[in-house]
Structure 1
Amino acid sequence: MAAYATEQDLVDRIGEDSLLVLTNGDAQAASRAITQASDEIDLYLGKRYVLPLATTPSTVRNLCVTIALYWLADDAAGMTELAENRYKASVKTLEQLAKGVISLGLPDAEKAAENTAGDVQLASGPRRLSRDSLAGLL
């Protein structure tokens, strides 16, 4: 499992002071929240995409930040209506991604499986040895 956001992404969204309040000074709290958010995202994306994602689209990074901040606010008893509404909107987006209503523009897991389940194809250069070219050697 890869984390879809960094602590710096959280700082960029809400600022260092606000993050310090949400983490109650716990240096590992932000990391745990990012891991929890990434795991939650994987539950949805795993239905449609090959995990781990080869790249992290900015949409997924933003969803991860929103969900991580939601879990931090919940742990810090600092839940606001805005944080809750943003979390619900993020989950709705993840549900739409899982159903294929919207797309990340990445290959679907189903299509990737189809591409690997077919016949093997080989390509080679022109033939260099033949019976005629080897006839005088025997």
Structure 2
Amino acid sequence: MAEGGTTLEYTPTWVVALVCSVIVIISLAVERFLHYIGKVLKKNNQKPLFEALQKIKEELMLLGFISLLLTVFQGMIAKICISEELASKWLPCDKKEHKAATKSTAHFESFFSSFTSHHGAGRRLLAESSASNC
């Protein structure tokens, strides 16, 4: 079961149909809105803006198609396996960088420690927080 709720398998059909209907209605409304804006731009002879709108519509269509492909093939994508050695090389940062980043921010930490508030919560450096996330 899903965390804090039921799975799609146990969700009533009318709820699924309602959610899908809302998504379709929103999509149609956005499409009509973009079409209306295109008509207004054509009427006012604003060709560059109309062409920009056309590009936006193309990008949205491409994004939707990519999303559909990812949804359809998500099972096959999830089954792709790579070796642990290769996976460790593809990490955004490695342990060497983490140690270097921690060492380089140490002098700033001591400087900013004098600015801690009365509640004991001090400032965090951006470099420190990004290094600790890796």
TM-score, length basis structure 2? 0.27
Tell me: higher relative CO, structure 1 or 2? Use CA pairs within 8 A at least 6 residues apart: 1
TM-score, length basis structure 1? 0.26
Q: Higher Cα Rg: structure 1 or 2? A: 2
Q: Higher helix fraction: Structure 1 or Structure 2?
A: 2
